[in-house]
Structure 1
């Protein structure tokens, strides 16, 4: 008999190995969703970096960490974590006051941390607030990760803006941080947004962001800024590539209206349907290029059908086990897949992991639970059987104290006990958007965001 989540939440704080050995057939759909939300919430609550209160880049339950990694804070993943904590308040996992104090700690840290023309870097040292280089030349502002962080900050602002004096003060401080991001600096005077800028290397990364991928929210926020906004032409000429983004393809009977450059027929990793839409509500969201709800549903269902068809005959794939997205990956699988090596990845080697952008055009036999679970708003009838299969049949291998581990492969008998913030973050948030639309409603009520969407030519029920 499974212990069903109680209002105190104490009953779910069981040893993960003990919990995974229980028979789980009796748990209701509602209780299972709450349990998954609670466990995943704990990644960002009890698992947070202690000085900053923000999200650690990764937590490895096997204890195998890169050197000096325990205090690396991920800014984009922290934005997802802020939204997850809002869910925790609404679900009764913590009190409103407990959430407030964590948010104050996090925002105070972000206020003092390194910023580059208002934009935070990809990684911060959680103890000092100094930039931690993500790569050789990526040691400055990261506008995409900043957008993911700001998406979460604006949801928190709107949650507390009409509260008591301390809550209003938090909302006002967030508003100042939002106003200090110099979105237009990152255009370099062109009609496109650039991902990176470094005080040491300038624009050397030279990554102009064109759609379609996970970065729609960056363009929406850049157009929405009350202080450093970009013109609509930046969106239409840069992101939408002068209209070339709208090249519809139909695969498995599902129409994908936007051109996913990595694979225009089957689409990119499923996180492209999640990251921008944790706050940006895709229901009824349209512009001259797409209906974004239909687009995300099609993206989800094409990814699912690819796994069901299973062209590489990977073990474990099917209607109850699908979902390809960026995550940890089997060591050596990418090189083997691309013909760079003839050495077949070793089975059962879960002590190591690489990272790969799994999608139908790079299918390595690796399933990431976040891919399907975070897609629940788009296809609940297709996702719930996956959730039950993961929990009831594979739980002993892939379920831990912070929810489902990042990724696994039955083909390679690979079950690393590791978590990544950017993959855990969308799970609780998108389940809540499916259940109550909490984060969609909070983010979309923002007046600046509404003005930006109108400026770019979007229609949405939130703008009526």
Structure 2
């Protein structure tokens, strides 16, 4: 499927009923004022276009499911036939990225609508589920869950964020747009959030057919915010807003930086922020946008403190591939075998939080290592130049967070679109968010 070059923007009409339902909390995204140079914009355009290409080319055209990973050093956009594992999280990022692809005219609008509608239909009618929750990993063509896969609460939430983004973006009065909206609503409305609480006040991480609920719970601050807010805002199976107070918010202190967090990779401060607009708002506990700014500052300072080749032009480690497989690593505090590798999605996913610093390191890494680290879909997932190791693959979720955050930095598109949905707005109100 070909791409259309250029960056011209198209206009998408939003239904008056939703627009009229906005409140102070859901006012237009308060994107921090950022001045980007022509060179910065050109770089971000290339990064965005290449990332969107992954979600266009590495999705099955029938199921719409996106491969969990694919080869990056390829010359054509052929589907990676050596891979069969799709992830619902990659698909959630992917259908959100299709909205970016449409707005920037990388792909004809009718083709985008057809792809989104097919994806939502497949996930609603053919993909196995439990009480509306989806299996994490599935066969990209058939949708059959892999034996190692769990029914995942957080990955279902990521997929639903993508579906609701498409519902708002394509709510343009056309038959295709109406169908997309109805499918997204059905997918969201069928989720029985109470079931995933499993009798507790925090969500289980998932469920397995052979053993039942996973014992681990989403009980401390991380990427879980989207999960709780979607559940609280549900019109069909809502949970009590008191669950927003049930997870802990551990205080973190590193050097001069104090913020809410945990011993988790950097992406936990990014993922919910790809869709929910937390800028210039706070609840009883924090301004979570500013919290992510501080967490990113602390992470950069942590990387530089290690030595190991890190500098202002080379920093950022988040859950990713490394030479020996997949690892959750980073800091502070030190997690995993951080050895001087860099993970480009760490900076790309924090673009709205530290624009100048993240663009600096991303551009510098492309300029210095681009021959080896840059491919058809942008940066490879991770690399370690001193060891002459460059990941041959890209990962859908890591490309996805970069695409969405780059677009949010430039235009606020995903924030403004997702927050047209009344359910996230209502959930944030119920959780006590107020504009600052």
Query: Could you tell me the TM-score, scaled by structure 2's length?
Result: 0.86
Shift, 1:417, TM fit: 1.6
1:61–1:161 distance in 2 versus 1, CA, 3 Å: closer
Alignment match of 1:126 (pick from 136, 140, 156) = 140
Superposition map of 1:28-427 within 5 A: 28-61=39-72, 70-111=83-124, 112-133=126-147, 135=148, 138-139=149-150, 141-203=151-213, 205-237=214-246, 239-240=247-248, 245=249, 247=251, 249-256=252-259, 258-260=260-262, 262=263, 268-309=264-305, 311=306, 313-315=307-309, 317-331=310-324, 353-360=325-332, 361-362=334-335, 363-427=338-402
Specify the alignment match of 2:417 in structure 1.
442
Shift, 1:158, TM fit: 0.5
Distance 1:170 1:27 in 2: 36
Specify the alignment match of 1:350 in structure 2.
none
Distance 2:435 2:266 in 1: 23
Instruction: Confirm or deny: 8 A CA contact 2:152 2:205 kept in the other structure.
Output: yes
Instruction: Confirm or deny: 8 A CA contact 1:49 1:71 kept in the other structure.
Output: no
Distance 2:58 2:38 in 1: 26
Unaligned runs of 5+ in 2: 9-36, 75-80
1:305 partner SS: helix
Superposition map of 1:13-32 within 5 A: 28-32=39-43
**Which deviations, in whole Å up to 9, do the C-alpha atoms of 1:347-369 show, x marking residues without a partner?**
xxxxxx44333334122322110
Shift, 1:142, TM fit: 0.8
2:138 partner SS: strand
Instruction: Confirm or deny: 8 A CA contact 1:191 1:235 kept in the other structure.
Output: no
Instruction: Confirm or deny: 8 A CA contact 1:308 1:318 kept in the other structure.
Output: yes
**Which deviations, in whole Å up to 9, do the C-alpha atoms of 1:392-447 show, x marking residues without a partner?**
11101100001110001124221122111111111111000001110101111211
1:82 partner SS: helix
**Which deviations, in whole Å up to 9, do the C-alpha atoms of 1:285-339 show, x marking residues without a partner?**
3111111111000011111111222x2x313x100111110000122xxxxxxxx
Aligned residue pair count: 396
Instruction: Confirm or deny: 8 A CA contact 1:324 1:371 kept in the other structure.
Output: yes
Shift, 1:161, TM fit: 1.9
The higher radius of gyration belongs to 1
Distance 1:231 1:460 in 2: 22
Shift, 1:234, TM fit: 2.1
